[in-house]
């Protein structure tokens, strides 16, 4: 039992490349595609149809939480030369310049 649990957690991590392949396969194989999850798994490589389906379900759940404001907006620290402006101040200054 422990080995299948370890295998599941090891194979459940997704690389950046696999995520990109997953996104591309989702666009290619829509809900009407027969054997959709098998086709997507084949496109991603190294993932089963069940793993791909669970990854999709987690993505849908995340999107629903974001869209219903259940996920707080992160407060990103400024990177680079901001001349002492916070991100919000810089955005407001840019908006004023464009108006």
Model confidence pTM above 0.75: no
Neighbour-count burial of 85, counting CB atoms closer than 10 A to its CB (0-12 exposed, 13-18 middle, 19+ buried): middle
Q: How do residues 30-47 score in pLDDT, each as one tens digit?
A: 999 999 999 999 999 999
Q: How far apart are CA 44 and CA 53, in angstroms?
A: 12
Among 9-13, 28-32, 55-59, 76-80, the range scoring the smallest mean pLDDT is: 9-13
- E-strand spans in the chain? none
**Residue 3 C-alpha from the chain's centroid:** 28
């Amino acid at each position: 039992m422990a080995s299948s649990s370890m295998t599941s957690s090891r194979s459940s991590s997704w690389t950046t490349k696999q995520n990109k392949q997953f996104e591309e396969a989702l666009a290619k194989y829509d809900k009407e595609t027969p054997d959709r999850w098998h086709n997507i798994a084949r496109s991603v490589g190294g993932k089963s149809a069940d793993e791909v389906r669970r990854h999709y379900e987690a993505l849908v759940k995340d999107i629903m939480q974001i869209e219903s404001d259940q996920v707080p907006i992160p407060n990103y620290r400024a990177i680079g030369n901001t001349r002492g402006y916070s991100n919000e101040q810089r955005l407001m200054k840019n908006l004023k310049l464009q108006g």
